Amino acid sequence: NMHNRARYLIFFQYIGTKYRPVNPVSLSVSSRTDTGVHALSNSAHFDLQRKNDKLPFTEDVLVQALNFHLGTEQIRITRAHRVPHDFHARFRAQSRTYVYRIALGISHHSLLPLTDWDLCWSLRNTELNVDAMHEAASLLLGTHDFSSFRAVNSDLPFKNPVKTMDVISIQQGNSFAYAHFHREIPSWELTFTSKSFLYKQVRRMTGAMVAVGQGLLSVPQLKKILEARDSLAYPQGMAAPAHGLFLTRVDYRDTGENKNQL
């Protein structure tokens, strides 16, 4: 009976946890993130059929019920939309945006304010060569075979390594509690937007851009890594850690679901 079965697109947040749906509802998530990565706005769709011919939940009631059901889990449903029965959260997504947060001049991670603990990559460097990083960003911008920037996983043989980076930007950031903290922590945010990314691609691009900013890697060396099109060409241990990375936005331009603002 289709009239009481509804498909919903939900947007949700989590901090560094692996989201495990606690109910048997089959959830199709738009963007799979590695363990330790955060989401300010991931999305998923699922079908819900109510018993005894009851009408589908309204969107507001669904959000409240899901959050109540999740209890103390580090995950929050921010909103829901009824969508057509053929809508797919992953395949219909037009773009995904990730932001990577970096804090500078932190000689020991205990010097970070609690509000940034495990929510950024803290570096000892007091400054980075941002001009060189911009050069690195423009090298990675656009359409390339990003084989060198993907980590090996079981998807490897099936995924096309050619991706188009629509945005790679570097701007000054802030500590989450910067207005209330007793000292200024220099911070940067790297933003990446693409229709889709390879496994650990953002962390590998970030690690390489930071290495360029630290003078550990030159832009010509980065170009060589990109042109090698080989995940083994990427220097071991250079990838940025998971805990600085945030999925901030999933866009659905053609569906009327482009309400993806926090």
Examine the residue annotation and report whether 34 is marked as an active-site residue of this protein: yes
100 annotated ligand binder: no
Helix (H) or strand (E) holding 18: none
Among 233, 243, 252, 145, residue whose Cα is nearest residue 195: 252
Note the helical H segments in 125-200.
Answer: 130-140
Determine which one of 34, 118, 145, 166 is catalytic: 34
d(CA 210, CA 237): 13
For residue 93, give every residue at least 6 positions away whose Cβ sits within 8 Å of its Cβ, in sequence order, or none: 30, 31, 43, 195, 196, 250, 251, 252
d(CA 73, CA 42): 16
| Residues with catalytic roles | 34
Residue ranges of the annotated binding site for substrate are 98
Residues contributing to the annotated binding site: 98
